[in-house]
Amino acid sequence: MWPQVARIIRMRTVEGISLAATIHGMSGALLWSIYGIVAAVPSIALANIVTFVAVGFIIGAQVRYDVVSLPFVVSIQLVIVLCGIVAAVISESLIGVVAIAIGGTAIIPQTIRSARTNHQVGLSALTYATIAVLSTSWAIYGAILGNAIIIAPNFLVVPCALFISIRAVISHRRYGRTIETVAVPAR
């Protein structure tokens, strides 16, 4: 997510970035962090804490550009943390399934947004290409560990991330650096 943060800072826009995907992604990073802690897989916990911080910067920009209110985001994340802790107390498998359900599907709103609009100047193609590579790596890592919970979400994430990356490249070539208002709002 860090190339996306850099693009927001450089372009001074969140145009093309799905708010639903951002909130969903932040929630997924929280849940995967909890899973990594409970399952005693520090690499999962640490990677998702770093992702949470990066997505926090993106949400901060969405708050700054009046796409969403901070109290709304904070309230959603508090509910997610509570649900994650409850799931983790019940069982490691349950928090894993919840992390898959929320974190593994976080890319869907951005995929839909990318399919619906051609103007995505604020979207980082590099971020989504990197997500495709990293998700492939996580799937391989999950296979090495024999952990289906780590493998499963990547079957959705990899093709979606590649699609978004390609759509962003097409948009950047077509529109260059323009950040004009378009028919599909950033929400």
Q: Is 186 helix (H, G, I), strand (E, B) or coil?
A: coil
Q: Which of 150-154, 155-159, 177-181 has the highest mean pLDDT?
A: 155-159
Whether the pLDDT of residue 186 is over 50: the answer is no
Reported confidence tier of residue 89, pLDDT bands at 50, 70, 90 = very high
CB 55 within 8 A of CB 68: no
- The domain spans of the chain are 2-175
Q: Could you count the other beta carbons within 10 Å of the beta carbon of residue 128? A: 28
Two structure tokens written together for 85: 């802790």
Mean pLDDT for 39-46 is 92
92-104 pLDDT per residue, tens? 999 989 988 998 8
* Arithmetic mean of pLDDT over the chain: 89
Give the distance, in angstroms, between the CA of residue 142 and the centroid of all CA atoms in the same chain: 19
pLDDT in tens, 67-85: 999 999 999 999 999 999 9
- Measured distance CA(154)–CA(143) in Å, rounded: 11
> How far is residue 159 CA from its own chain's centroid?
14
| pTM (whole model) above 0.75 | yes
* Cα separation, 164 vs 17, whole angstroms: 11
